[in-house]
Amino acid sequence: PGRVRVAVRLRPRSAEDLLSDADFADCVELQPELKRLKLRKNNWSSESYKFDEVFTGTASQKRVYEVVAKPVVESVLSGYNGTVMAYGQTGTGKTFTLGRLGKDDASERGIMVRALEDIVANVSLASDTVEISYLQLYMESIQDLLAPEKTNITINEDPKTGEVSLPGAVTVKVQDFDHFVELLQIGEGNRHAANTKLNTESSRSHAILMVYIRRSVPEKVEDDINSQDRKTKSKLPLVRKSKLLIVDLAGSERLDKSGSEGLLLEEAKFINLSLTSLGKCINALAENSPHIPTRDSKLTRLLRDSFGGSARTSLIITIGPSSRHHAETTSTIMFGQRAMKIVNVVKLKEEFDYESLCRKLETQVDHLTAEIDRQQKLRESEKYDLEKRLRDCHDSFNETRKNLVTRSELLEQKNTRLELVIEEALAELNCQKDQNSLLEDKIADLEMSLKQNKQNQLENSTYQKVLADTTQMYEKKIAELMKQLEVERAKSESAEEQLDAMKKLSDEHKKLIQHHEMENSKYQMALADTTQMYEMKITELTKQLEDEHTRFEGAQEQLDLANMLLADYQNSTQGQDETSELRLKLEEMYRLHESTVNELQSLKAEFKDQIQEKEAISEKLYAVQEKLSAEEKRRKAIEHELVNLKKGAPEGDKHFEDKKSYMKENIRGTSVLGTSASLNKSGTLRVTQSAQRATIAKICEEVGLQKIIQLLTSEDSDVQIHAVKVIANLAAEDVNQESIVEEGGLDALLTMLRSSQNATILRVASGAIANLAMNEMNQGLIMSRGGAKLLAKTASGTDDPQTLRMVAGALANLCGNEKLHTMLKEDGGIKAMLGMVRSGNSDVVAQVARGLANFAKCESRAMVQGHRKGRSLLMEDHALEWLIDNCNTTSASTRRHIELALSHLAQNEDNAREFISSGALQELQRISNESSREDIRNLAKKMLKSNPVFQGEMRLGQQ
């Protein structure tokens, strides 16, 4: 059994192709290494088909023959029927592939020529026969191409064997290869060729070459069962009859396109009949249908015993590269694809050559009769011989019996004598037995002692071994201990070294401190000195100043006096000398006064400078003091570390743990929504996460949940961040949720959403709330404390996709509680979800879709149970538009949620009108057919069927 082998061959671009569509790409792309052909559907997509072989435009005729036809020819040579057939549009190379004679260029020889070459080379024309018929099928009439006057040849079918024959057709016995080529040429000359626009060489008729082969089988050797002589074997002469069909089909194009103006409608109808009928048979065979409509046309009747079924078949489909013939090329490829599904069960047709068999059997009978005659004679003489020998034997037997009787008498006498001797020997034997038993006792004793010796020896050796083993073991242990000792020593040395270094360091520090202290005291002394000195100077200067002042006052008095005197003098108009004298004195006084004032100013400046200097020094002093205290602190820290080191040295480092590390962990890994979020994460992350959780749980135990919750309200935002991260982690575990809520954690988280401006806090707090919102009890609490409003506010205030995802997750969880729906809608929860989609982040969108699906599902459940009525709350917030717009998202889970949401919304009859007007009904129909999930498809179907409004609408649509 085998399949119909189908190869596809692409004709290279012809001159016409090049002229007419030079600008267009080929409509096919071959992948010969994959045996695939890509057929372009449009500019952006193509379909790929697999064939048994794919030949590019450069494939040689030889290779095409070897791959397509040679296996069929070989099987025909071994007695099976076979067919090679070419199918394709006119001008794509069917005749080129099959019928080329290759007279000018031997490499162009087609399949017909090459097949006959192979056949002629493989049969012996002396004992075997090769006959051909060459026919044309045109307008449902068979014409003999070798005798063109014979038209309308009838087809005969043997009702028993199903064999097809054409008694009216000429069959010519092929003498040699050249004879065959001659016959082909004659046939070609007679072939009716209808010219078409597409190709002037191509034909509208089917050309059929039939090659009948009759071969005598190399005689089979079989054992003759009745023969006594195994060397004689009978031989059965056999002939094998087989048939090779090579069919060059008419062009497969639709006639209206090929522009066959001059043709009769009749011709078109008949050509179509044979090819369409072939197509139908192939479809039926491919589908393994019990009825194959072979009777519908001449072509299929002719091919009945040679295509599919019981013959080996190869089909070569020919195509052209041009996009102009895209439709024809497509249908050709589909034809080939269907033919690939046909399975054959090939039958060997062998017949007995009865005449020669009869002749052979007669000679055998003669031979056997003579033989039997000869054997009978031989047997008679043998019988006489045997009787004679029997008599002789009888005589000799009697004589021997006499001899035996005399000998037995003699033997009896000897026997009695021997019995006497035995008795004597027995007595002696008993005596020796006694002695023997004595000796045996002795031996037993000796053996006992020997055994004991041996045991002792054995024990000794085991002791020695044990001793050696234990010694070895102890030595090993000692070596190990020594090693350990060395390691410990090395460790303690290094610890000592570290200790020394630390000591040195601390000494240095001490020295430094002493030095600083000394310097400090020096500075202080100097400061005191200078202060004293300056104070003294200042007092001196003040004194001087005071003196000067009194002096100045005196001078002033004198001046006043002088002035008075001068007035007196002027009044009295006497004593001018005195006046001039006084003026001189006055001037001198004035100069003195001026110099004093100058001195005073310089002293003041000096005083100011000194005060500044004093300030600088005291600043320096302060800096030094500060440095000193820092050094002191550092020293203390080092000492502390030293103490720790001393303590820790014997235990090693393994107990040291960075207890703060979890604080720096990123909270983003926290599972907010259980499934969807954590599914995407790699295993390692999950491991670190659980490790993180474990540490957090430990901390919680140590610190106490209440304290951590108190930290949520801390003033320090860093502390708040750490605390909220811990709470978010704890909230991911169901067991912690109740206590978190009891201890006021939920309130604290909501307060955070209300008042915090910190992005991290908002994100993590939303995550924590999302975790808490998984629990139905918490959902009510969250809602009653304004959680939905706060979440909506948080969503509107941020663009951070992580925060949005958490918020969306929290809201999606709340959507799963039907009792809260009205409140959720009134608090703006649904609007907030639909608004969050603006971020475009796929995780956020997925959460929103999940929320809507949750909402719709609960709503439809409530409808069924009868505690809800009226149009869906979701629809009021315009969720339907969003669902329709996002129906074709690429994320599978989002898509599934949207499909679910739509299906559940469809349940509500009050939604139906809007469903129809918004186009959601079409979407629902599509879901019922195309959704990737069977359950959703079924749900959608159920909704479509159960809703009378939809039914009516769909009936209208069909009309």
Site map 144..183 versus ligand ADP, x via CB under 6 A: ----------------------------------------
- Residue 79 makes contact with ligand ADP by CB under 6 A: no
The partner in contact with residue 729, picked from Mg ion, ligand ADP, none with C-beta cut-offs of 5 to 8 angstroms by kind, is: none
10 Å Cβ neighbour count for 708? 22
Mask of contacts with Mg ion, 37-76, x by CB under 5 A? ----------------------------------------
- Chosen from Mg ion, ligand ADP, none, partner binding at 92 (C-beta under 5 to 8 Å by type): ligand ADP
Phi then psi dihedrals of residue 307, to 5 deg: -125, 125
Helix (H) / strand (E) containing 352: strand 350-352
Nearest-angstrom CA–CA distance, 100 and 181: 11
Q: Does 12 bind ligand ADP (CB under 6 A)?
A: yes
102 is known to lie in a ligand binding site: no
841 contact, one of ligand ADP, Mg ion, none, CB 5-8 Å limit per kind: none
In whole angstroms, what is the distance from residue 810 CA to residue 313 CA?
A: 67
> What DSSP string describes 435-447?
HHHHHHHHHHHHH
Residue 95: CB minimum distance to ligand ADP, A: 3
Report the residue closest to ligand ADP, judged by CB.
Answer: 93
Give the separation between CA 47 and CA 559, rounded to whole angstroms: 129
Query: Measured between alpha carbons, how far is 896 from 898 in angstroms, rounded to an integer?
Result: 5
Beta carbon of residue 75, minimum distance to ligand ADP (angstroms, whole number): 25
Closest CA to 302 of 242, 241, 240, 246: 246
CA 872 → CA 521, 783, 852, 912, distances in Å? Answer: 88, 20, 12, 10
Residue among 15 and 411 whose Cβ is closer to ligand ADP: 15
Q: Is 94 annotated as a binding residue?
A: yes
Stretch that binds ligand ADP, among 10-18, 501-509, 566-574, 854-862 (CB under 6 A): 10-18
Task: Pick the piece of the chain touching Mg ion (CB under 5 A) from 158-166, 199-207, 793-801, 828-836.
Answer: 199-207
* From 71-79, 84-92, 328-336, 757-765, span contacting ligand ADP (CB under 6 A): 84-92
User: Please, which residue, 252 or 903, has the CB nearer to Mg ion?
Assistant: 252
**Which of residues 249 and 814 has its CB atom nearest to Mg ion in the complex?**
249
855 binds, among ligand ADP, Mg ion, none (CB under 5 to 8 A by kind): none
> Of 61, 83, 92, 95, which lies in the binding site for Mg ion, with binding defined by CB under 5 A?
95
Among 202, 242, 736, 886, binds Mg ion (CB under 5 A): 202
Judged by beta carbon, residue 202 or residue 841, the one nearer Mg ion is 202
957 part of the interface to ligand ADP, by CB under 6 A: no
Q: Name which of residues 658 to 677 contact ligand ADP (CB under 6 A).
A: none
CB 760 within 8 A of CB 666: no
Phi, psi (deg, nearest 5) at residue 88? 165, 175
Taking the C-alpha atoms of residue 626 and residue 578, their distance in angstroms, rounded to an integer, is 72
Q: Please list, in sequence order, all residues whose beta carbon lies within 8 angstroms of the beta carbon of residue 819, skipping any fewer than 6 positions away.
A: 780
Which of Mg ion, ligand ADP, none does residue 134 bind to, with CB < 5 to 8 Å depending on kind?
Answer: none
Binding of ligand ADP by 11 (CB under 6 A): yes
CA proximity to 52, closest of 118, 110, 8, 116: 8
Considering the rule CB under 5 A, would residue 766 count as an interface residue with Mg ion?
no
Question: With respect to ligand ADP, which residue has the nearer C-beta, 185 or 484?
Answer: 185
CA atoms within 13 A on the CB side of 44: 0
Q: What is the dihedral of CA 278, 282, 284, 290, to 10 degrees?
A: 90
Q: Can you tell me the distance from the alpha carbon of 309 to that of 83, in angstroms, rounded to the nearest whole number? A: 11
- Looking at the Cβ atoms of 91 and 809, the one nearer to ligand ADP is 91
Question: Could you tell me the smallest distance in angstroms from the CB atom of residue 117 to ligand ADP?
Answer: 20
Neighbours of 73 (CB within 10 A): 25
Among 95-103, 299-307, 723-731, 796-804, the segment contacting Mg ion (CB under 5 A):
95-103
Which residue, judged by CB position, is nearest to Mg ion in the bound state?
95
Tell whether residue 94 is a contact of ligand ADP (CB under 6 A): yes
Nearer to Mg ion, 103 or 476 (CB): 103
Tell me, by CB under 6 A, how many residues bind ligand ADP.
16
252 binds Mg ion (CB under 5 A): no
Residue 185 or 666 with smaller CB distance to Mg ion: 185
Q: How many CA atoms lie within 13 A of 864 on its CB side?
A: 12
90 binds ligand ADP (CB under 6 A): yes
Pairing assessment for the beta strands 53-55 and 46-50 based on DSSP bridges = unpaired
Token couple for 823: 């409140």
Residue 93: which of Mg ion, ligand ADP, none does it interact with, CB under 5 to 8 A by kind?
A: ligand ADP
For the residues of 838-895, what is the DSSP string, one character each?
GG--HHHHHHHHHHHHHHHHHHHHHHHHTS--SS-HHHHTTHHHHHHHTTT-S-HHHH
Six token digits for residue 167: 């008694």
DSSP 68: I
User: Residue 90 annotated as binding?
Assistant: yes
List 65, 96, 134, 270, residue binding ligand ADP (CB under 6 A):
96
The answer on whether 92 is annotated among ligand-binding residues is yes
Residue 364 in marked binding region:
no
Candidate segments 8-16, 28-36, 236-244, 397-405, binder of ligand ADP by CB under 6 A? 8-16
402 assigned binding-site residue: no
Residue 38, classed as helix, strand or coil, is strand
What is the distance of C-alpha 80 from the center of its chain? 47
Which of Mg ion, ligand ADP, none does residue 96 bind (CB under 5 to 8 Å by kind)?
Answer: ligand ADP
Cα–Cα distance for residue pair 255/836, rounded to 1 Å: 60
Q: Establish if 320 lies at the interface with ligand ADP (CB under 6 A).
A: no
Which listed residue (92, 771, 817, 928) binds ligand ADP by CB under 6 A? 92
**Segment interacting with Mg ion, rule: CB under 5 A, options 22-30, 194-202, 373-381, 700-708:** 194-202
| In the complex, minimum distance from the CB of residue 190 to Mg ion, in angstroms, rounded to a whole number | 15
Residue 311 CA, distance from chain mean position: 44
User: Is 199 near Mg ion (CB under 5 A)?
Assistant: no
Residue of the chain from 88, 279, 336, 745 that contacts ligand ADP (CB under 6 A): 88
Q: C-alpha distances in angstroms, 721 versus 207, 728, 756, 758?
A: 88, 10, 11, 9
The mark string for 261-300 relative to ligand ADP (x by CB under 6 A, - otherwise) is: ----------------------------------------
| Residue written as token pair 């009838």 | 154
| Helix, strand, or coil (residue 800) | coil
Q: Which of 724, 827, 819 is nearest to 772 (CA)?
A: 724
Nearer to ligand ADP, 96 or 855 (CB): 96
| Residues of span 215-254 touching ligand ADP by CB under 6 A | 251
Nearer to Mg ion, 95 or 737 (CB): 95
Q: Which of 76, 8, 65, 112 is nearest to 311 (CA)?
A: 76
Reported as half-sphere exposure (CB side, CA atoms, 13 A), residue 188 has a value of 16
Contact between 242 and 349 under an 8 Å Cβ cutoff? The reply is yes
State the Cα–Cα distance between residues 567 and 477, nearest whole angstrom.
Answer: 129
Stretch of residues binding ligand ADP (CB under 6 A), selected from 92-100, 334-342, 359-367, 562-570: 92-100
Residue 321: which of Mg ion, ligand ADP, none does it interact with, CB under 5 to 8 A by kind?
none
The structure tokens listed for 182 are: 């001659």
Distance CA 791, CA 793 (A): 5
199 lines the binding site for ligand ADP (CB under 6 A): yes
Residues that bind ligand ADP (CB under 6 A): 11-12, 14, 88, 90-96, 199, 201-202, 251, 318
Q: Could you tell me which residues are annotated as the binding site for ATP? A: 88-95
Q: Which residues bind Mg ion (CB under 5 A)?
A: 94-95, 202-203
